[in-house]
A and B are shown apart, each in its own frame.
Chain A
Amino acid sequence: MSDILEVASLAVDIPLAAGVLHPVQGVSFSIGRGETLCLVGESGCGKSLTALAIMDLLPRTAIRTADTLTLNGEDILNAGEGRMSDLRGNAMAMIFQEPMTSLNPAYTIGNQLEEALLRHRRVSRRDARDRAVMLLEKVGITAAASRLRQYPHQLSGGLRQRVMIAMSLMCGPALIIADEPTTALDVTIQAQILLLLAELQKEFHMGLLLITHDLGVVARVADRVVVMYAGQIVETGTAEQVFAAPRHPYTQGLLECIPIPGKTRRGANLGAIPGMVPTLIGDIQGCRFRERCTFAMPACAADVSFRPAEARDHVYRCLLTPAECADNFHRKVPA
């Protein structure tokens, strides 16, 4: 099973007045057909910029470098804007967070859906319209044909997001990148949209790169998880590995922070990660997390590379051994 997306050592550098900002450093992962990979981290960790880097939608001043960046085997690192423009919306589609602003309020839903297809395929407008109706029904919008004539402001947030999903599917992409697709939605709608994405992914055999800060979403939806901090990947593994046996102190810290009904004791303090995200400007060495890590050692000041946990496909970037990490976690969070 060849990978749909392969990313190796992706880095983004942005020169600023104060120095060079490194919001993404050495990010590597791959997504296979039918696989859901979740990029999780807090604000400033570089996850959104990673997605923009893959789509080549970075701001003009940003510099993107990578060892490998391929989509379906095709190199998209050096592809020109023309080729990228052909691929966007076509072989890879993006769903954004804010359904209010990602649809053009001046055009009908039908118009935008049809344009998404007509831009990349030579089909008649009638065929485009039929496909739009089919996909709207697939995403669970009733009376799809009449909806085509509606404008975005006439739909609720949840419906708009469904339209966005339908729009991303118009050309049958191999990869969908969803950046916080449910964060702006209500809890009940969020569950529906996530279910929908999972179903569609299975049916169309697509790869899904889901970017979010919500650990609950990640646990329920992801096949594989990539945890990012301060521009770097700190832990990668399957969802079960990362959530049942988190190794990196940051991942552990995150899991200790969230209240879990039935598990965290009411009135007791939640875990907390002291300090703040470090600066990403200039030459940075060593583990980015060391200033907030309870287990930091002098050796952490030098660059830390990945090491495997018990399973080979579960790696994390820390000097502590898997056994030590497991110990630390269990001491704080009794099973």
Chain B
Amino acid sequence: MSGLIVEIRDVHQTFRISAGTFRGTRPLRAVNGVSLAIEQGEVLGLVGESGCGKTTLARMMLGLLEPTAGSILVKGRPIQEFDRLEIARLLQPIFQDPYSSLNPRKSVGAIITLPLRVQNDPRPETWRQRVEEIMTLVGLQRRLYNSYPNQLSGGQRQRVAIARALINRPQVVICDEPTSALDVSVQSQILNLLQDLRRELGLTYVLISHNLAVVEHMATRVAVMYLGRIVEAADTDSLFKSPRHPYTQALLQSVLTPDPLLGVPDAQLGAAYPNPLEPPSGCTFHPRCPHAMPHCSAVPPRSVPTAAGHVECHLHDDAQGRQRLAS
């Protein structure tokens, strides 16, 4: 059951953004040195807000984008050594928007058959039957085979996307906000489906979401991203019970549980939201951190191992920090 499927080593992705006519380009460090190891069978939750780089990281994991630095290993081999069909058999995505993740001109059957077609799957006479089997597995009625996406609801479309991703039995499924665009009642259906499928097919998930309640429910391990780096990683229970990084704490505080006796929490983050094109110096979180110390703006924190994972914060690194924590 265990074993590393995907290993991400100090991966960077820098885009060049035009700085204006005749002014050349500026770098946008979407992913700024991320290291992650994904074990078989786990559900890794990747949380962060917009601009943190989680979607860019997902694209690199899928082989859709080549890192500008660092390496990604899949089952021990560098991802560049795989051809695109091999990668497709191992890693598959599920996207957020069910309305744009299906080709509107293709029928459901054609969409779900495409993976078999691309892989030149032998015995095409079995394709229809296999497509119908997976449709049943994800809870779609067989008679929808000839329907088109515009005839389906959001939940049904997301099921089609799941069927498409799973028909070739990949090992890792990267779910990028799989339920954010769905209604609450449909969301729970899809989440239950994802959990059942994981058990039945032995899948490994990377679950990208900004919804921490969903992540807490589904993930076994969580990594928190901020401006292109992982600022904290831990197993789910530890992260939610005792978050170490001030950003994680603020995130968790901001989760609005349906408790009418509580009001809206004030995470004291300040209004300034960083511009990824001009990241703050030192620890990129320092302008918003309620516990910032003088040297936080000068020295970037290094990754410190903790009992449950690791954290990047001066508060947990040096004596001064620890003193501040204790006070």
A and B touch in the complex (CB under 8 A): yes
Show the binding face of A for B, using Cβ within 8 Å. Answer: 42-43, 140-142, 156-159, 162, 186-192, 194-195, 198, 213-222, 238-240, 242-244, 253-255, 257-262, 264, 266-267, 269-273, 276
Show the binding face of B for A, using Cβ within 8 Å. Answer: 49-50, 153-154, 183-185, 187-189, 191-192, 195-196, 210-214, 216-218, 236, 240, 250-251, 253-267, 269, 271-273
- Given A140-B271, A188-B267, A264-B217, the answer on whether A220 and B187 have CB atoms closer than 8 Å is no
Q: Are A272 and B184 touching (Cβ within 8 A)? A: no
Q: Are B188 and A271 touching (Cβ within 8 A)? A: yes
Residues in A with CB closer than 8 Å to B256 are: 190-191, 214, 216-217, 219-220
Q: Are B265 and A191 touching (Cβ within 8 A)? A: yes
* Chain A nearest CB, measured from B37 CB (Å): 21
- Give how many A-B residue pairs fall within 8 Å (CB-CB): 138
- Given A188-B251, A194-B264, A270-B191, the answer on whether A42 and B217 have CB atoms closer than 8 Å is no
Residues in B with CB closer than 8 Å to A271 are: 188
Of all chain B residues, the one with the shortest Cβ separation from A267 is B195
Residues in B with CB closer than 8 Å to A254 are: 184-185
Of all chain A residues, the one with the shortest Cβ separation from B214 is A259
* Chain B nearest CB, measured from A228 CB (Å): 13
- Separation of A190 and B251 alpha carbons in the complex (Å): 11
- Given A215-B258, A221-B264, the answer on whether A258 and B184 have CB atoms closer than 8 Å is yes
Q: Are A266 and B266 touching (Cβ within 8 A)? A: no
Residues in A with CB closer than 8 Å to B214 are: 259
Q: Are B251 and A269 touching (Cβ within 8 A)? A: no
Q: Are A260 and B257 touching (Cβ within 8 A)? A: yes
Q: Are A190 and B254 touching (Cβ within 8 A)? A: yes
A219 in complex: contacting residue of B183, B187, B217, B257, CB < 8 Å: B257
Residues in A with CB closer than 8 Å to B263 are: 198, 220-221
* Chain A nearest CB, measured from B122 CB (Å): 37
What are 10 pairs between A and B in contact, CB < 8 Å?
A43-B183, A158-B271, A187-B49, A189-B273, A191-B265, A192-B269, A219-B256, A220-B262, A243-B260, A257-B184
A272 in complex: contacting residue of B185, B266, B269, B272, CB < 8 Å: B185
Given contacts A156-B273, A266-B216, A270-B192, 6 further A-B contacts (CB under 8 A): A158-B273, A189-B273, A219-B257, A219-B260, A259-B213, A261-B255
Residues in A with CB closer than 8 Å to B273 are: 156, 158-159, 189
Q: Which residue among A189, A220, A240 has the maximum number of chain B CB atoms within 10 Å of its CB?
A: A220
Q: Are B213 and A261 touching (Cβ within 8 A)? A: yes
A213 in complex: contacting residue of B184, B210, B250, B265, CB < 8 Å: B184
A186 in complex: contacting residue of B50, B189, B216, B259, CB < 8 Å: B50
* Chain B nearest CB, measured from A293 CB (Å): 13
Residues in A with CB closer than 8 Å to B271 are: 140-142, 158-159, 162, 192
Residues in B with CB closer than 8 Å to A195 are: 264, 266
Q: Are A239 and B50 touching (Cβ within 8 A)? A: no
- Given A219-B256, A220-B256, the answer on whether A258 and B188 have CB atoms closer than 8 Å is yes
* Chain B nearest CB, measured from A246 CB (Å): 10
- Separation of A191 and B265 alpha carbons in the complex (Å): 7
Of all chain A residues, the one with the shortest Cβ separation from B262 is A220
Q: Are A187 and B264 touching (Cβ within 8 A)? A: no
Of all chain A residues, the one with the shortest Cβ separation from B259 is A219
Residues in B with CB closer than 8 Å to A259 are: 191, 213-214, 216-218
Q: Are A260 and B183 touching (Cβ within 8 A)? A: no
Residues in B with CB closer than 8 Å to A220 are: 256, 259-260, 262-264
Q: Are B264 and A188 touching (Cβ within 8 A)? A: no
- Separation of A42 and B259 alpha carbons in the complex (Å): 19
Of all chain B residues, the one with the shortest Cβ separation from A239 is B260
- Separation of A190 and B266 alpha carbons in the complex (Å): 11
Of all chain A residues, the one with the shortest Cβ separation from B236 is A266
- Given A192-B271, A261-B216, the answer on whether A255 and B258 have CB atoms closer than 8 Å is yes
Residues in A with CB closer than 8 Å to B266 are: 191-192, 195
* Chain A nearest CB, measured from B224 CB (Å): 12
